[in-house]
Amino acid sequence: MRRTCHGSLFISLLLGCLYTSAVSAAGLQEDFAIVPEGVLRNLAKKIVMPKYPEASRKRGVKGRAVAQVDVDKGGNLTDVKIIEAPDADIEQAVLQAIQQWKFGSATAGEERKPVRLRGKLTFYFVLSGSQARVENPRKFQ
């Protein structure tokens, strides 16, 4: 019985250590280089502009949408979060468009190590008369 207790204790400690290592490794993976929008856009190899949702246009909804994107070391999009959007339809349109973006890989430091990137993308949903269009910020036009 006593031997069994010691055995359980050892296994628990081992599992605990493994868990701690796994968590710290995951923590390291959370490190991102935060980049300005201009840098992120320059790295983009494929850009898909969001479409103006018909429902939003009919309701006269316009405004700014901002998304936060994460890109892995290989340039693959790993996460998109919509931080701000005038309505749910526009949010969905931005999400669908950005999910098709492709990025080049980025490096940092003297050793030019590949890095994960986090940055924001901004779009303006503009209504003028019967015209509805989606624009990039003027800075990047």
Task: Note the residues at the interface with other proteins (CB under 8 A).
Answer: 34, 36-38, 64, 66, 83-84, 120, 122, 124, 137-140
Find the shortest distance in angstroms from Cβ 122 to other proteins. Answer: 5
Find the shortest distance in angstroms from Cβ 107 to other proteins. Answer: 21
Give whichever of 66 and 95 is closer to other proteins, judged by the CB atom. Answer: 66
Q: Which residue has the tokens 């069994």?
A: 4
Find the shortest distance in angstroms from Cβ 6 to other proteins. Answer: 50
Q: Which residue has the tokens 């098709």?
A: 100
Between CA 85 and CA 36 the distance in angstroms is 20
Give whichever of 73 and 124 is closer to other proteins, judged by the CB atom. Answer: 124
Burial 107-132 (b: 16+ CB within 10 A, else e): eeeeeeeebbbbbbbbbebeeeeeeb
Give whichever of 84 and 87 is closer to other proteins, judged by the CB atom. Answer: 84
Structural tokens at position 67: 């998304």
Give whichever of 17 and 108 is closer to other proteins, judged by the CB atom. Answer: 108
Between CA 104 and CA 40 the distance in angstroms is 9
